[in-house]
Amino acid sequence: MSVHLQREIEGLKKSLLSLCALVEEQAQRAVRALLERDDRAAREVEQRDVEVDHREVEVEEECLKILALHQPVAVDLRFIVAVLKINNDLERIGDLAVNVARKAITFARQPPLAIPFDLEAMWHKTRAMLRDSLDALVNMDAALANDVCARDDEVDAMKRDIRVRAEDMIRVEPERVAALYTLTAAARNLERIADHATNIAEDVIYMVDGKIIRHGEGE
């Protein structure tokens, strides 16, 4: 790898990590807004989504510039392809954070309800998956990426548990249906963020090992 290409790739890593930190912060603020019924914080998440979109475009343009100027091959080419896909996943996570923020706005307007689910614990697991997937990318760590993929089942199970418990509560307290639906919708968005973290981990495995494991391929 030329010194110039190496410098470009290091800069690209920093840009991607900066975008990841931004979308993680967006999701954290959205979850906190939901838990605290904070309408103002939720609206700030909506407003900052423009910044996420702008950063996503910048990363894509960096990738295209490197491809055009350096025509990388082998592992460097796989890295650029992986970054393009991961960049899209991060932008989608930003959109899902906005979805959670909108659920927070809706929830804040509904009659008070003590949240009967541990959405915060679900978010902590999801956030750890997101962080580890990016750590796997920076450190070229396929083992950590595989571990992230394995954890996706835990978040799926938490979402299913929340849905079942909500359905049980609705049968007992049908007047709470709107608030409970809002909370289960937020849980569904968190589960989808975990799915995107898994996508990122799978792209890291592709980058490091050249294996495509989505849909069971490459196993």
Share of the chain above pLDDT 70, in %: 96
Average pLDDT over residues 112-128: 92
Q: What's the pLDDT score for residue 112? A: 87
- Would you say 75 and 207 are in contact if contact means Cβ atoms under 8 Å apart? yes
pTM for the full model? 0.91
Q: What is the pLDDT of residues 18-29, one digit of tens each?
A: 999 999 999 999
The CATH classification number of 3-216 equals: 1.20.58.220
Could you tell me how far CA 161 lies from the centroid of its own chain? 21
- Would you say 121 and 184 are in contact if contact means Cβ atoms under 8 Å apart? no
CA dist 58 and 52 (Å) reads 10
Q: What is the pLDDT of residues 64-75, one digit of tens each?
A: 999 999 888 888
Q: What's the pLDDT score for residue 74? A: 83
Q: Which of 56-70, 120-134, 202-216 has the lowest mean pLDDT?
A: 202-216
Q: What's the pLDDT score for residue 214? A: 64
Query: Is pLDDT above 60 for 217?
Result: no
Q: What's the pLDDT score for residue 218? A: 44
Tokens of 185: 């919708």
Query: Is pLDDT above 50 for 219?
Result: no
- Tell me the domain boundaries of the chain: 3-216
The chain-wide mean pLDDT, for the chain, equals 92
